[in-house]
Structure 1
Amino acid sequence: MGFVENLVLVFVAGFVTALATGLGAIPFFFFDSISDRGNVVLWGLSSGIMVSASVFGLIEEGLAEGGPAEILAGMAVGVVLVVVAHNVITNAEVDPREYGEADFKKLLLILGVLTVHSFPEGVAVGVSFADLNLGTGPQFLGFTIPVLAIFMTVAISIHNVPEGTAISIPLRAMGVSEWKMVWWAVFSSLPQPVGAVIAFAFVRLARDFLPLGFGFAAGAMIYLVLTEFIPEALEHGEGLPNGGKLELLGGVAIGVSIMLPLAFI
Structure 2
Amino acid sequence: MGEILLQSTVAGLGTCLGAGAVLLFGPMRSGTLSLLLGFASGIMAAVVIIDLLPTSLQYGQPVVCISGFITGFLFVTGMDYSLGKVLPGRRLQQIYLRMGYLIALGIALHDLPEGIAIAAGYSASAVLGPVLVLAIGMHNIPEGMATAAPLKAGGASSSLILALNALVSLITPLGTMLGLFILQVSHEMNALLLALAAGAMIYIILEKLLPASMGNNGFLALTGLLTGFLFMYGIHSLL
Question: Which TM-score bucket, shorter chain as reference?
Answer: 0.7 to 0.9
Tell me which protein shows more helix as a share of its residues.
Answer: 2
Tell me the C-alpha RMSD between the 2 structures: 3.1
From 178, 200, 207, the counterpart of 1:194: 178
Match of 2:196 in 1: 216
1:229–1:97 CA distance, 2 compared to 1 (3 A)? same
Counterpart check, 1:253 vs 2:226? yes
How far apart are residue 219 of structure 1 and its match? 0.9
Partners of 1:164 and 1:170 lie apart in 2 by 10
From 82, 96, 101, the counterpart of 1:104: 101
Name the TM-score, length of structure 2 as normaliser: 0.76
Q: Number of aligned pairs?
A: 223
How far apart are residue 111 of structure 1 and its match? 2.8
Is the 1:18–1:186 Cα contact (8 Å) retained in structure 2? no
Q: Which runs of 5+ in 2 are unaligned?
A: 153-157
1:224–1:153 CA distance, 2 compared to 1 (3 A)? closer
1:189–1:168 CA distance, 2 compared to 1 (3 A)? farther
Identity of aligned residues (%): 18
Partners of 2:117 and 2:42 lie apart in 1 by 20
Partners of 1:212 and 1:154 lie apart in 2 by 20
Name the TM-score, length of structure 1 as normaliser: 0.70
Is the 2:72–2:197 Cα contact (8 Å) retained in structure 1? yes
Q: Which runs of 5+ in 1 are unaligned?
A: 1-9, 129-147, 238-243
Match of 1:21 in 2: 11
Amino acid at match of 1:247: L
Is the 1:75–1:217 Cα contact (8 Å) retained in structure 2? yes
Partners of 2:189 and 2:48 lie apart in 1 by 17
Partners of 2:175 and 2:61 lie apart in 1 by 25
How far apart are residue 211 of structure 1 and its match? 1.2
Partners of 1:68 and 1:220 lie apart in 2 by 18
Match of 2:36 in 1: 42
Partners of 2:142 and 2:59 lie apart in 1 by 27
How far apart are residue 155 of structure 1 and its match? 4.9
Write the deviation string for residues 60-84 of structure 1: whole angstroms up to 9, x where unpaired: 2212212333221111101110221
How far apart are residue 31 of structure 1 and its match? 4.5
Q: Which has the larger radius of gyration?
A: 1
